Amino acid sequence: MPRKRPSSRGSARGHAAPKNLSRSLPAKKRLSPSAWIAVITTGVVIGSSLTAYAAYVDITGGINRENVDTDAFGDRPSKVEGVVNIMIIGSDKRDGANAEYGEAEGERPDTLAIAHISPEKKSATIVNLPRDSIVQLPACKKTGDYPGSEPQQGMINSAMSYGGVSCQWDTVEKATNIRIDHFVSLDFTGFKGMVDALGGVDMCIPHPIHDPKAGNLELDAGEQTLTGEEALGYVRSRKGQGDGSDLMRIDRQQDFMAAMAQKVMSGDTLKSPSNLYSFLNEVTSSITSDDELTVDTMADIAIAMREVDLKDVNFVTVPNHPWEQNKNRVAWDEPDAQQLFQAIATDEYGGDDDKDKQDDDSGDDAKDVDPGDVSVEVLNGIGTANLANQVSGILTERGFGVSGTGNPQGMVPEASTVYYGPDGKAAAELLAQELTNATLAEDPSLSGNSVRLVMSDDWRGFKTAGGTGGVPGSVKSKNAADSSKESAC
């Protein structure tokens, strides 16, 4: 059994969800999308767990609300009906109760992620956006204490210090092309209080940790129950663990979130109204959300998420590499990052629906052709720079021959299309099996196993070997079930 440790001197601590999410889903205990999302979704389970409505209002009324004018963003990504995307901010704000954790230049997310909730697929995906990622920042207006900024290249989390949540929201949407529906921000004190209200979280510490920069965090190796203060130090610690990078810290944070969510959903928290009340009351005073994330919206999300199991909650980090101009910064791998974002934006990631559908749509004739027998002309009808060359490189890696690249002459088809000659349908089907989405069409000008791939605006890239929503193999995913097991020695 995990042993209790005494508290060390350390560390650290747009649109509403659709109202028609079924309220008749089985009431069995299931995992909320992540430890951060557990704060929201577990919170609204109180509607059925507490009999006193006054207590419910008392708790939800403790959440700070902020108005975000998303209309000011201009053109925004398309909304997928039934899907909810929430921007998660682990704030490094250092005022009030957070002042004991030192000073910081402005307010910037210590942790930044998108929680993609898909009730139809019965899955949830948390996409971590490394805070040191270099992206194109949009212009942000001066407002209140925020100075505003002109369009520029910079770290993704710096948007918060220029224009607050509104600027951070706009930046994430424009960088990922994912429609953000809501945001939730939790500060250091709130995180620490959440862990303490749970009675601590069980984790396996593989090596002793001493990190003066994480509040003098001192942890022995072995399985133990982390207090709120220790847990905050553990998830914030960089230099005292591994190679000291933010990417390794993200990996540890994902494991901790899985362990905490497991504790929330499998322990006594949900079984006892008094325990649940104590947990929520401790947390909500440190939460900020947009004013459209109403009590009814949270209830809809929570009820829908009861169908999500540990194994269907995935953690992914945007594929990345050191930025050439500064190795301490991160650049995203392209086109892999955009393929991941597109799969999230279109709700193609997660669940088994797409793989089954794609398998059903594949012709049996494709089995008679090998990739080496197929010659592909790759045409970029989107306008994305260098896309045809990138796609041809992937096709070559997968064993296909590439006859040439370029741009289509004349009209571009509405849907990405694989054209084939009178005898080339099997070759076209084989290529289509590699793609997330493609229409087949016959073109008499082609002969043999020569085919032509024309990419249009609906292009969603390649399937992985497992056929998961067009996400490239460089995207590494782990589910909460495996991560929670790894958190034990």
* 149 close to 163: Cβ distance less than 8 angstroms: yes
State the pLDDT confidence band at 418, using cuts at 50, 70 and 90.
Answer: very high
Which residue is it, tokens 């060390």?
Answer: 8
Rounded to an integer, the average pLDDT of 254-258 is 79
Residues 329-362 pLDDT 10s: 999 998 889 889 988 998 888 765 443 443 444 4
Mean pLDDT, range 137-149, rounded to an integer? 93
pLDDT of residue 60: 61
Q: What is the model's pLDDT at position 422?
A: 95
**Model pLDDT, residue 5:** 37
Listed residue (132, 288, 260, 285) closest to 200, CA to CA: 260
pLDDT computed for residue 8 by the predictor:
35
**pLDDT at residue 283, rounded to an integer:** 63
Q: Please give the pLDDT value at position 299.
A: 65
pLDDT at residue 204 in the model? 86
Over residues 167-171, the mean pLDDT reads: 97
All CATH 3.40.630.190 domain ranges of the chain, comma separated, are: 3-348+474-486
pLDDT band at 458, cuts 50/70/90? confident
Radius of gyration of the chain (CA): 24
Average pLDDT over residues 385-411: 89
Q: Given a cut of 60, is residue 76 above it in pLDDT?
A: yes
Query: Is 80 exceeded by the pLDDT of residue 47?
Result: no
Of the two residues 303 and 405, the one the predictor is more confident about is 405
Is there a contact between 417 and 457 (Cβ–Cβ < 8 Å)? Answer: no
H/E stretch holding 317: strand 313-317
* Architecture of the domain delimited by 360-455: 2-Layer Sandwich (3.30)
| DSSP structure class, residue 412 | P
pLDDT given for residue 312 in this prediction: 79
**104-108, 223-227, 354-358 — which is least confidently predicted?**
354-358
More confident residue, 471 or 118: 118
Segment 385-413 mean pLDDT: 89
In this predicted structure, the answer to whether residue 3 has a pLDDT above a threshold of 70 is: no
Query: For the chain, what is the total number of helices (H) and then of strands (E)?
Result: 14, 22
Q: Quote the mean pLDDT of the chain.
A: 76
What percent of the chain shows pLDDT beyond 70?
Answer: 67
pLDDT over 90, % of the chain: 31
**Is residue 12 over pLDDT 50?**
no
- Split at pLDDT 50, 70, 90, the class of 186 is confident
pTM of structure: 0.65
pLDDT of residue 293: 82
Fold annotation for 3-348+474-486? Aminopeptidase (3.40.630)
pLDDT at 86: 92
Mean pLDDT of 187-208: 82
CA distance 110 to 250: 10
> Which has more pLDDT, 297 or 441?
441
Considering only residues 211 and 408, tell me which one the structure prediction assigns the higher pLDDT.
408
In the chain, which residues fall in CATH 3.30.70.2390? 360-455
* Structure confidence by residue, pLDDT tens digits, 17-43: 333 333 332 333 333 333 444 444 444
pLDDT: is 53 or 260 the higher one?
260
> 217 or 153, which is more confident?
153
Specify whether the CB–CB gap between 46 and 53 falls below 8 A. Answer: no
How many other CB atoms are there within 10 angstroms of residue 281's CB atom?
15
- Among 28, 57, 73, residue whose Cα is nearest residue 265: 28
Query: Band of the pLDDT at 205, cuts 50, 70, 90?
Result: confident
In angstroms, the CA 257 to CA 206 distance is: 17
In the prediction, which pLDDT does 277 show?
Answer: 67
